[in-house]
Amino acid sequence: MTNILFICKHNRFRSKVAEAVFNKLNKNKKIKAKSAGIIIGSPVSKIVISISKKKGYKISGKPQGLSTDLLKWADIYVIVADNVPREIFGNVTKYRKKLILWKIRDASEYNKKDIARAVNMIEGKIKKFVKELNN
């Protein structure tokens, strides 16, 4: 079993989208994904939910914070953000974890064009990631 944790700043956009896209595209039952944020804030924007839904991805659940349990659960951490310092995770290889960094900019809650662009970018990265994991 391989467990993947997608991480962004608030778990209300980038990591939520990555989790939804991954869970839709991944067909390997031995790979599971969740998401979290380093800071808990507002709920997921309706625009993010709407844009994701139009692409066939369902955003579910409330934003959740990074916890010790989630960090222990995950084998691979994917930072889906340009504003989450890698240093927070220290030397993950010491714990047999893998860290991947995708520097995806946050988008304004009200800017549909930037949100759509970021969703497309995340979708592209997830498609490549799923292929890599299954090879």
Q: Over the stretch 30-51, which tens digit does the pLDDT of each residue have?
A: 999 999 999 987 899 899 999 9
Q: Averaged over 123-128, what is the pLDDT?
A: 97
Q: What's the predicted TM-score (pTM) here?
A: 0.94
Residue 133's pLDDT band (cuts 50, 70, 90): very high
Q: Averaged over 70-96, what is the pLDDT?
A: 87
Domains and CATH numbers, the chain: 2-133 (3.40.50.2300)
Please report where in the chains the tokens 């970018």 appear, as a residue. Answer: 121
Residue 93's pLDDT band (cuts 50, 70, 90): low
Q: How far apart are CA 59 and CA 21, in angstroms?
A: 9
Beta bridge partners of 37: 8, 65
